[in-house]
Amino acid sequence: MKPDVAVIGGGYAGLACAVALARSERVRVTVFESGRVLGGRARVVTRHDPPVDNGQHILIGAYTQLLQTMRQVGVSPKLLETLPLTIAYPDGFELRAARLPAPLHLAVGLARARGLAWSDRLAAAQLIRRLRRRHWQVSPDRPVAEVLDDLGQTPTLRARLWEPLCVAALNTPASEASAQVFANVLRDSLAAGSAASELLIPRVDLSELFPVPATRWLGRRGHDVRTSDAIRAIRVEDGVFWLDGGPSWVGYEQVVVATAPYHAAPLLEPFAALAGVRESIEALDHQPITTVYLRYENSPLSGPPMVGLVDGPAQWLFDRGRLGGPRGLLAAVVSARSRYDELPHEALELAVRRQLERAFERLPMPTWIRSIAERRATFSCRPGIARPDNRTPLAGLWLAGDYTRGPYPATLEGAVRSGLAAARGVLASLD
């Protein structure tokens, strides 16, 4: 009989792991998800009308493992709106990468950019050139803000390009964020070519983008995905894993814990051998993301469906109505820790409305407004952070999630890569 493997967590990491295991045809997989909705911290929230995501995510062309895994379960590329890398603001600032090989795509984009002085263009090119000469290594690792100082980046570049990109990718302020991880992101996206830096914006909700198709794919191949089935504890008897909350008559040869880190740590607590792993997980600090959804009769955005914002709580604004959602629905994203965190939702929504009114001048009252806050959306991606490995000291128990050791911050690509790495570990242990 094929070995039984349990995956605890039905987010992007857990389902990517399950798909990789199922494709091997060497094991039987059961996925346990505590909630009714799949996707983990990237899911649709159905209690609102219209349904909205618990946070706005974008993909980029460099997310190769996520895109490949989506294709493997039959996800159509048409579910993603593909745009050249464009950093635009309502006041006319715009940097758009050209559809050319690297480094011409960025050089031409900088030359054509609106709102940049030539000193800005030269400083941006210098940053990429110097990082490339250093083979994208920042040693010693330090905050992004310090590296921007060292590399002579102008106030305009910091405010309109590097710091917003840092917050978008790492969900950590530039004053705290790891310059090495940010360099990894720039290496594989902005500096890698026009295709790698393309923006891929989902036209469907985040659960339908990958988790639901993955679940259907697994089901057709005889594997199980069990929603509303919370695993409260793990115990080991005679080398077999038993899950408190799952079907008591099934033991599992191997278990992958693919939950959020703050849910993973309690599951590891009974095992003395995992004390160090648990301590590293519990030492992780977390950053919030709040998405304020506003619906107008007509969207104020006439250019790209994603624009940057300044002078207020939100850093980015998305026109969801042009991306498969209801007409006039906007998503304003408030990323990372800031002075707005403690505001009640009503006060934050008012601050975002005023920010949009300053950006677009005369705006009517929205017909609908809602906020969704993820207080622990991502780990704080700081220099020198200790992230746990996929393999744990307890044979047969693995970790998967965007917080595990890897080159990327807490992104969907990082989650999928971690899930695939855990699957490879499971399969290698069977040899």
* Same-domain status, 185 and 94: yes
| 17: pLDDT strictly greater than 90 | yes
Does 243 share its domain with 291? no
Print the domain residue range for 230. 4-42+59-74+204-284+383-429
Measured in whole angstroms, the distance separating CA 100 from the mean position of its chain's CA atoms is 27
Sheet with strand 199-202: strands edge to edge: 59-60, 199-202, 80-83
Determine the Cα–Cα distance for residues 422 and 24; give it in Å rounded to an integer.
13
CATH number at residue 290: 3.90.660.10
CA–CA distance, 400 with 393 (Å, rounded to integer): 14
**In this structure, what token pair is assigned to residue 183?**
């360099």
Look at residue 323 in the predicted model and tell me its pLDDT: 86
Q: What average pLDDT does range 79-94 have in this prediction?
A: 93
The pLDDT, as a whole number, for residue 249 is 66
Cα–chain center distance at 299: 26
Residue 127 included in any domain: yes
Q: Which of 81-90, 167-176, 392-401 has the lowest mean pLDDT?
A: 81-90
Instruction: Give DSSP secondary structure letters for 120-188.
Output: HHHHHHHHHHHHHHTTT--SS--BHHHHHHHTT--HHHIIIIIHHHHHHHHSS-TTTSBHHHHHHHHHH
- Domain end, chosen from 171, 197, 223, is at 197
pLDDT at residue 51, rounded to an integer: 82
Please name every residue paired with 30 in a beta bridge, in sequence order, or none if there are none.
6, 224
Residue linked to tokens 């959804």: 293
Helix, strand, or coil (residue 14)? helix
Give the number of domains in the chain.
3
Q: Mean per-residue pLDDT for 348-358?
A: 96
Map tokens 């920010």 to a residue: 355
Pair 133, 102 in one domain: yes
Q: What is the pLDDT of residue 247?
A: 61
**AA identity, residue 286:** H
* Single-letter code of the amino acid located at 195: A
Residues 334-346: tens digit of each pLDDT: 999 999 988 999 9
pLDDT band at 41 (very low <50, low <70, confident <90, very high): confident
Q: What is the CATH number of the domain that holds 272?
A: 3.50.50.60
Do 151 and 239 fall into the same domain?
no
Residue 343 lies in a domain: yes
Give 191 or 418, the one with higher predicted confidence: 418
Express each pLDDT in 230-289 by its tens digit.
999 999 999 999 999 866 667 899 999 999 999 999 999 999 999 999 999 999 999 999
340 domain-assigned:
yes
- State residue 58's pLDDT score: 83
Q: What is the residue whose two structure tokens read 């700081």?
A: 382
pLDDT exceeds cutoff 90 at 56: no
Task: Give a yes or no: residue 31 inside a domain.
Answer: yes
Is residue 256 domain-shared with residue 372, that is, in the same domain? Answer: no
Instruction: Looking at the structure, tell me whether residues 137 and 263 fall in a common domain.
Output: no
Whether residues 142 and 94 fall in one domain: yes
